[in-house]
Structure 1
Amino acid sequence: MCSHMEHIYLPEPTENIWKKCAEEFENRWGFPNCIGSVDGKHVTIKRPNNSGSSYWCYLHKYSIVLMAIVGPDYKFICVDIGGFGKNSDGGIFETSNMGKRFEQNLMSVPAPRFLPGQNEICS
């Protein structure tokens, strides 16, 4: 975690936050077991000195990437800011602190549960 303000304005999600998101995704959008929506947004920047092509992206500009998970109401749940523009969303997520914490099961994600009308667990 980077700063004190981060904990005030974007606290780390709890299991209850994820469960509430899953309930709202199912009720509002018809997506059962969905705890968040992930996407990256390229933010145009001036090329940093001595950065080579790290920030050059497929949009033919220099950028950093804002990677975020949002809930069913489009509000941020988790963010990672500063990925190189040249990297894919998947690559940025995988190497971000957020992605690593998911991989290590440190993000308080609820236990898998059945999809409606199914008898197999879906995680």
Structure 2
Amino acid sequence: HKGKYGFTNVGKQELTLVQVSSHNDRVFEHDNNVKDLTMEIVEDKSNIQDKDAAVNLMRQLVNLPETEGERRAHLFHALISTVRGMKIETLKAALPEVVAFSRFLTYQVLAQCGTPECSSAIM
């Protein structure tokens, strides 16, 4: 440690760049991948609108014991996927019930959902 115990080796190395070859591995067209930052509207909302599915998932998530933390991520993902598929009417009907379980989790789900319906529900 700091030269007090045992022995110390110091090695020096020098590298010299001999040659560089030009290489271009682009397999995509840049202009085809450019997207604006505006939210894309999802038109394929689920035909079956069930607010009870979201309410039940929120209930399970809130009542999940701390010893079952590995299930939390799965339930949260399922809840967000369910909410993303909801139309605004169904989402508004479910909000009072899920807010009663946990206001914090409700806002977290709505923020991570990211659809215009979820953003409107936050307001």
* TM-score higher than 0.5: no
Report the TM-score range of the alignment, normalised by the length of the smaller protein.
Answer: under 0.3
If each structure's strand is expressed as a fraction of its own residues, which one has the higher value? 1
If each structure's helix is expressed as a fraction of its own residues, which one has the higher value? 2
Please, what TM-score do these two structures have when normalized by structure 2? 0.24
Please, what TM-score do these two structures have when normalized by structure 1? 0.24
